[in-house]
Amino acid sequence: MPYESKPSSPRHAVRLALAAVGAAALLAVTPARAQEPVQPIAPHKVTNPAKVDLGKKLWFDPRLSRSGFISCNSCHNLSMGGSDNLKTSIGDKWQKGPINSPTVLNSSLNVAQFWDGRAKDLKEQAGGPIANPGEMAFTHDLAVDMLRSIPQYQAEFKKVFGNDKLDIDQVTNAIAAFEETLVTPNARFDKWLKGDKKAITAQELRGYELFKGSGCVACHNGPNLGGTSFQKMGLVEPYKTDNPAEGRSAVTGNDAERFNFKVPTLRNVELTYPYFHDGAADTLAEAVDTMGRIQLGRKFSDKENADIVAFLKSLTGDQPRITMPILPPSSDKTKRPQPFE
């Protein structure tokens, strides 16, 4: 257990946040929906279908990796809540990833990308894994060379962007356009937020009220129930992990932000196990228990825990309905991947 966060502001931050965000909600048993600290997810409107379609091809194309085997979808699998359901991901040559793969679903709603927020948006994020030696292990130049060698890709990029550049900027632009479509509206909880009182059960409602009343909502708020701030992992009680990630401080250089991570979304959380930046919590019950203790200084009873877990499962929305793209075949000029060299 070489890594441990030190609590720095016991309960103070939570209380402040609660006061700011949750106060009104705490009072009401059947709250006015407009005052809720959580808002429904809005469906995405596609404005440039050709760009989204190109982005979808790139999303599924393992030729953007050195091995020809790993695509965006390998670690953000759209059959599995946009995640890989592994503690940390498997990269090129079976390298062990440093951190749990966050879901791509609703990621356009996040204030920044990656657990430490080092990418300001989806476009900036998309370039990361392609060139990360531990992930897809390619280079932007080689990825672009591959795409340029394929006439059908050349034609599609030209159609979408109106020129013959076909550069990494266009590649990440198209991937981001596809990712922006990956929102999950119509969760039962959203229906409840919109006024359908029968959309969630009494237990789920109790769970939501406890979620608000005990302070979870201080960080997990907004339409994405998270993704809007960085918070210290281990606010009240140290978080013990063997994962060396230091979070926000690695980006800002500010030691006060050590172990600060982007608050993950709770949307579709039933599908995105295991939990936390280190993937250490296998189940929602475990995650809720740990969060209660280390972030809120509160030990939830089994019943309370079950109520919150029930609420969390009401956050599973309509999963994107994805028709697999047919990828344009490599041409005779396309360099063949050599995954074992």
Q: Return the active site residues.
A: 135
In whole angstroms, what is the distance from residue 56 CA to residue 326 CA?
Answer: 10
Tell me: does residue 153 bind a second copy (CB under 8 A).
no
Q: Which two tokens stand for residue 280?
A: 């250490």
Residues from 270 through 289 that contact a second copy (CB under 8 A) = 270-271, 273-274, 282-283, 285
Residue 205 beta carbon to a second copy: minimum distance, rounded to whole angstroms: 22
Identify residues 254-273 at the interface with a second copy (CB under 8 A): 270-271, 273
The footprint of a second copy on this chain (CB under 8 A) covers a number of residues equal to 43
Q: CB 155 → a second copy: shortest distance, Å? A: 17
To a second copy, the closest distance from the beta carbon of 70 in angstroms equals 9
The span of 10-18, 88-96, 143-151, 231-239 binding a second copy (CB under 8 A) equals 88-96
Q: Which residue from 37, 79, 81, 42 is spatially nearest to 313, judged by alpha carbons?
A: 81
86 binds a second copy (CB under 8 A): yes
Distances in whole angstroms, Cα of residue 56 to Cα of each of 60, 98, 154, 225, 275: 6, 26, 15, 26, 27
Distance CA 50, CA 229 (A): 33
81 binds a second copy per the rule CB under 8 A? yes
Q: Does 138 bind a second copy (CB under 8 A)?
A: no
Query: Pick from 17, 46, 50, 80: which binds a second copy (CB under 8 A)?
Result: 80
CB 211 → a second copy: shortest distance, Å? Answer: 20
**What x/- string results for residues 316 through 335 when contact with a second copy is judged by CB under 8 A?**
---x-xxxxxxx-xx-x---
162 vs 329 by CB, closer to a second copy: 329
Q: What are the b/e assignments for 212-237, b being 16+ CB within 10 Å?
A: bebbbbbbbbbbbbbbbbbbbbbbbb
Closest CA relative to residue 55, chosen from 123, 106, 108, 107: 123
At 261, phi and psi to the nearest 5?
-125, 155
- Per CB under 8 A, the list member of 8, 39, 85, 154 interacting with a second copy is 85
Give the side-chain half-sphere CA count within 13 A for 209: 13
Beta-carbon contacts of 74 under 8 Å, excluding residues fewer than 6 positions away, are 62, 84, 89, 90
Instruction: Round to whole Å and give the CA distance between 212 and 202.
Output: 15
78, 122, 210, 217: residue in contact with a second copy (rule CB under 8 A):
78
Distances (CA, A) of 311 to 17, 93, 130, 175, 304: 21, 39, 36, 32, 11
**Residues making contact with a second copy (CB under 8 A):** 60-63, 67-69, 74, 77-81, 84-87, 90, 93-94, 96, 270-271, 273-274, 282-283, 285, 319, 321-327, 329-330, 332, 336-337, 339-340
